[in-house]
């Protein structure tokens, strides 16, 4: 069964605004990863945050992890139309080797 649950399910913002997406999970994890998927394409890995980390940055991306609340957030700053895509959080739960469990995804639309 899916472990990650993102919210909101859909998000529409204006170019230049920040986009915040949240993910919650249910059991103990080794790490949490965020991926982007453009329509009809494969997934692109964005960022990985380990269970002993609280925050990570990569370019315009900022990811936080709160293991006490079993939640993570992905912040995209200064959004661009090209950021329009579906975003998935995926967890590697403890004992699962490299197996990823994906959430349902968030559809982000950035209006030019």
Partner 1 sequence: GAVVSQHPSWVICKSGTSVKIECRSLDFQATTMFWYRQFPKQSLMLMATSNEGSKATYEQGVEKDKFLINHASLTLSTLTVTSAHPEDSSFYICSATPFQGLGYEQYFGPGTRLTVT
**Complex with partner 1: residue 15 or 96, whichever CB lies closer:** 96
**Complex with partner 1: residue 42 or 59, whichever CB lies closer:** 42
Sequence-distant (≥ 6) Cβ neighbours of residue 46 within 8 angstroms: 33, 34, 35, 36, 58, 61, 74, 87
Residues that bind partner 1 (CB under 8 A): 2, 30-31, 33, 35, 40-45, 48, 50, 88, 92, 96-105
Question: CB of 7: closest distance to partner 1 in angstroms?
Answer: 14
Question: CB of 22: closest distance to partner 1 in angstroms?
Answer: 16
């Amino acid at each position: 069964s899916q472990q990650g649950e993102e919210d909101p399910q859909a998000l529409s913002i204006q170019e230049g605004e920040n986009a915040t997406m949240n993910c919650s999970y249910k059991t103990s994890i080794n790490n949490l990863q965020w991926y982007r998927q453009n329509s009809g394409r494969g997934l692109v890995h964005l960022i990985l945050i380990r269970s002993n980390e609280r925050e990570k940055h990569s370019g315009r991306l900022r990811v936080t992890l709160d293991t006490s609340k079993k939640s993570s957030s992905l912040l995209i700053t200064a959004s661009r139309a090209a950021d329009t895509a579906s975003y998935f959080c995926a967890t590697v739960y403890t004992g699962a080797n490299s197996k990823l469990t994906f959430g349902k995804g968030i559809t982000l639309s950035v209006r030019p």
